A and B are shown apart, each in its own frame.
Chain A
Amino acid sequence: MSIILDKVNYKYSESTVYEKHALKDINLKINDGEFIGLIGHTGSGKSTLIQHLNGLMKATSGAIYYNGEDIYAKDFNMRTLRSKVGLVFQYPEHQLFETSVIKDVSFGPRNLGLPDLEIDLRAYEALKQVGIGEDLIDASPFELSGGQKRRVAIAGVLAMKPEVLILDEPTAGLDPKGRDEILDRIALLHKEQKITVILVSHSMEDVAKYVDRILVMNKGELIFDNTPKNVFAHYKELENIGLAAPQVTYVMNRLRDQGIRVSTSPTTIKEAKEEILRWAKGEIL
């Protein structure tokens, strides 16, 4: 089970002045159960890329295979793909429309043509997964707080039971508490349900903390595809394309410049702490 992109190209508004080569020869394999971080500057093609993964956008050239099936083949069922690859857009709360939370979350499973009982079951489960209490299920989604709205919207996608969950900046505009809540829930889902997660983010800290593989996009090209440690080792290059490494990477590099021989590989505060303690105890000379 995997998603394979083979030389995918996408051009916006081809042959007009607005033409933009948004994706350039993207080759990529997304394996089952991975937790992937997708980073890149605004306009680097991240959003375009993820919309290709569930067939919302059609590549100008190249092929995409989902579990070995060509998604552009005539007999390929696009709707099944969309239920298997769940896409949570930026500011997903802007898509809420129903009169109650439960009805809104049921929208996805209902479109799948499931029996009523199954729809309810999935909706309740999805709401539980994102931490929306039973007291809120009959509330209007427009009365909720920003963080709650966003979690309801994410539940709307989860209720379709996707095998791959793609989130486009799920924490944009949230306070630190709301951000941690959402990311922890997603990490838990990844761990317990074994779903593949692709997290598009601007925050290097978030990416470093949760993912085990990072894709870096720049001007429509995929320039890095590696583990967080290996990607953040190129922090100077990341800076050149308007990105940065997590703060601790800088701390560790500065320590090293001062002659303290710690490793520069930690990407989270926890790892950095352990490394510094190791040095303090004299384990590193």
Chain B
Amino acid sequence: MIRDITIGQYYPADSVIHRLDPRVKLIGTLLFIISLFLFNHFWGYVVASIYLFGIIKISKVPFKFIVKGLKSVMMIFLFTLVFNLFMTPGTVLWSFGFLKITWEGIRIAIFMGIRLTYLILGSSLMTFTTTPNNLTDGLESVMGPLNKIKVPVHEIAMMMSIALRFIPILLEETDKIMKAQTARGADFETGGLVKRAKSMIPLLVPLFVSAFRRANDLAMAMEARCYQGGHGRTKMNPLRYYKRDYLSFGVMAVYLGVLIGLNILL
């Protein structure tokens, strides 16, 4: 059950997308997210869909696997849908007391739903095709210029990579502790809200203890290897752009061009 959360996991496969420079994927994802909010007409969605599903196809990550990641954000998703559906003023189609559904509401709810879904699909595609290490390297490099205004870019990147790295570990740990407590007769699934909240204590306390222990161990191990931040640190495999990376930037430019072109034309 807990293994269903797939956000932030790497999915190994041999594809062009996997081999792309992480900076390309980062910028590409950012541009894609921005692009989702650039248009407000049907054709825009068609173009974005073709673009996104085309990349998913090329990435060789099974679609089923990517969609699993959506489950964990279902709540936010429903919340947005419901709010948009009932709170948008316009031509009333149906009303009951203070609740009313408008034509505009349905339209916005559907479009918002698609945008959110694509946003999550797009960004999880990035983490599926990029190892956490690569992602950090990319982030550090993309945010490099911020160093000039005293933003601790390396530290932020390191923190992010550690956090990403620990997601699967903590999930596994949660799974293990859950099983251990279930073996002692704990019940995490039934009962009312209060009972279920209480039943989390045997899970959360050991989880916190172990998270702190791991953090402590990691800090110690890093210090033992003379880690002292990004200053003067060199890389074994410095990032380099290849032909495929320039090509990808080209594809992105075409995608954005088409979207903006459509916006002007329609």
Which A residues contact B (CB, under 8 angstroms)? 13, 16-17, 51, 54, 56, 79, 82-83, 86-87, 89, 92, 94-97, 107-108, 111-112, 142, 156-157, 160
Contact = CB atoms under 8 A, between A and B. Distances in A.
Contact of A83 (B12, B185, B209): B185
Contacts of A79: 185, 187
Contacts of A112: 185
Contacts of A13: 3
B185 A89 contact: no
Given A97-B206, A107-B184, 8 more contacts: A79-B187, A92-B180, A94-B176, A94-B209, A107-B202, A108-B184, A111-B185, A156-B184
Contacts of A56: 179, 182-183
Contacts of A89: 176, 179-180, 183
Contacts of B180: 87, 89, 92, 94-95
Interface range, B side: 20 to 34
Contacts of B210: 94
B62 interface: yes
Q: Which 3 A-B pairs have the closest CB atoms?
A: A111-B185, A97-B205, A108-B184
Given A96-B206, A97-B206, A111 B183 contact: no
14 contacts: A17-B13, A54-B183, A82-B183, A82-B185, A86-B183, A87-B183, A89-B180, A94-B180, A94-B210, A95-B202, A97-B202, A111-B185, A157-B183, A160-B185
Interface SS majority for chain B? helix
Contacts of A95: 177, 180-181, 184, 202, 206
A146 B197 CA distance: 30
Interface in B103-147: none
A111 B201 CA distance: 14
Contacts, number: 62
A16 B65 contact: yes
B239 interface: no
Contacts of A111: 184-187
A58 to B, nearest CB: 12
Contacts of B205: 97
B32 interface: no
A17 B185 contact: no
Interface string B143-182: 0000000000000000000000000000000001101111
Given A94-B177, A94-B206, A17 B11 contact: yes
Given A17-B11, A94-B206, A94-B210, A107 B182 contact: no
A134 to B, nearest CB: 23
A51 B179 contact: yes
B13 to A, nearest CB: 7
A148 B62 CA distance: 47
Nearest to A113: B185
A160 B206 contact: no
B209 A142 contact: yes
A127 to B, nearest CB: 15
Contacts of A142: 209
Interface string B203-222: 00110011000000000000
A16 B185 contact: no
A82 B176 contact: no
A94 B214 CA distance: 12
A156 B186 CA distance: 12
Contacts of B62: 16
A197 to B, nearest CB: 16
A154 to B, nearest CB: 11
Nearest to B203: A97
A20 to B, nearest CB: 13
Nearest to A96: B206
B2 to A, nearest CB: 13
- Of A17, A54, A83, most B-chain CB atoms within 10 Å: A17
B65 A108 contact: no
A105 to B, nearest CB: 10
A17 B184 contact: no
- Of A17, A96, A97, most B-chain CB atoms within 10 Å: A97
A144 B86 CA distance: 57
Nearest to B3: A13
Interface in B51-73: 62, 65
- Of B3, B177, B186, B187, most A-chain CB atoms within 10 Å: B186
Nearest to A105: B184
